[in-house]
Amino acid sequence: MNAIVQTQQLTKHFRSQVAIENIDLAIEQGSIYGLLGPNGAGKSTLLKHLVGLLRPTSGQVLIAGEPWQRKHLWHIGTLIESPSLYGHLTARENLKVHTYLLGLPQRRIDEVLEQVELSNVGDKKVAQYSLGMKQRLGIASALLSKPNLLILDEPTNGLDPAGIREMRQLIQRFCEQGMTVLVSSHILSEVEHIVTHLGIISKGRLRYQGTLQELMKYGQQRLEIETLQVQQAVALLRTSYPDVQSNGTKILLAGANAETAHIVTLLTQHGIAITKVDAAQDDLEALFLRIVESGDYR
């Protein structure tokens, strides 16, 4: 694998609190990597190490195979927490401040405004911008130095559905332009349609890393049977299937698909009328929640 970013056994303690522990992250060049986890899981702490905002307690960060150095920041664009913008200035003026500070040519301003689709409102004061526009302007500023890696910490946080869709489209376009994008979120559905790879973090540990397709293989199959006599059916099945569950209207049997014919026969022989039989599989959301809650995906 051609990794643009790696962490090796990355660990950070804040006094006695362990924020992240032994994280081995590997982000492939050209990928859109979704770092997912609930609030407080350690996403921001991890991302801050990649841009030098935090130093590890132990372990290390490698950028393109080299131990992290400040010079790498020229190739990394970041949006971590809210972008720092001057509301009384226009978008163009805000970007001018950044180009000046970074010693970059002024022509980059129009180029990055174009990239985030703000060219037509570039002369509007930022105080009049919507949250989505401010996020895009923050990304424009991150793009000024032509980075090949973009790190976005919860860029869709607080955006309305249209803003979320625009952000997704932008991220996909950056990837098509050759950038690698690392995007964090605590909501799977906000990123699942665009990411090529996924890292799931909970309680400071990386619980899963790989493609979405690989993860889907761990989705548990279950048999769902609908009947009006749920209680009798559960009582009957419990002797052979101790894990049988019901949700009031359905009987749920994990991993019992191979025995569908036997189960249906057993129920009908005992006079239990079946109205529907379905073979279902965990969707991504169910898998994600299982990993976050149990810490394991198998």
Ligand X SMILES: Nc1ncnc2c1ncn2[C@@H]1O[C@H](COP(=O)(O)OP(=O)(O)OP(=O)(O)O)[C@@H](O)[C@H]1O
In this complex, which beta carbon is closest to ligand X, that of residue 108 or of residue 207?
Answer: 207
Rounded to whole angstroms, how far apart are CA atoms 153 and 12? 18
**Exactly one of 40, 87, 158, 295 binds ligand X (CB under 6 A); which one?**
40
**Exactly one of 1, 16, 39, 261 binds ligand X (CB under 6 A); which one?**
39
> Minimum distance between the CB of residue 48 and ligand X, rounded to whole angstroms?
8
- Cα angle for residues 200, 148, 178 (degrees, 5° grid): 90
Q: How many chain residues touch ligand X (CB under 6 A)?
A: 12
41 binds ligand X (CB under 6 A): yes
Rounded to whole angstroms, how far apart are CA atoms 94 and 281? 49
Rounded to whole angstroms, how far apart are CA atoms 98 and 110? 13
In this complex, which beta carbon is closest to ligand X, that of residue 40 or of residue 67?
Answer: 40
Rounded to whole angstroms, how far apart are CA atoms 286 and 288? 5
> Minimum distance between the CB of residue 61 and ligand X, rounded to whole angstroms?
15
**Exactly one of 186, 205, 226, 254 binds ligand X (CB under 6 A); which one?**
186
**Exactly one of 4, 19, 170, 287 binds ligand X (CB under 6 A); which one?**
19
User: Looking at the chain, how many residues does it have?
Assistant: 298
14 binds ligand X (CB under 6 A): yes
> Minimum distance between the CB of residue 50 and ligand X, rounded to whole angstroms?
12
Q: Tokens 């799931």: give the residue.
A: 200
In this complex, which beta carbon is closest to ligand X, that of residue 23 or of residue 121?
Answer: 23
In this complex, which beta carbon is closest to ligand X, that of residue 180 or of residue 184?
Answer: 184
Rounded to whole angstroms, how far apart are CA atoms 228 and 80? 53
63 binds ligand X (CB under 6 A): no
Rounded to whole angstroms, how far apart are CA atoms 116 and 155? 13
Rounded to whole angstroms, how far apart are CA atoms 158 and 176? 26
Nearest to 235 by CA among 259, 258, 276, 267: 267
The binding site for ligand X (CB under 6 A) comprises 14, 17, 19, 37, 39-45, 186
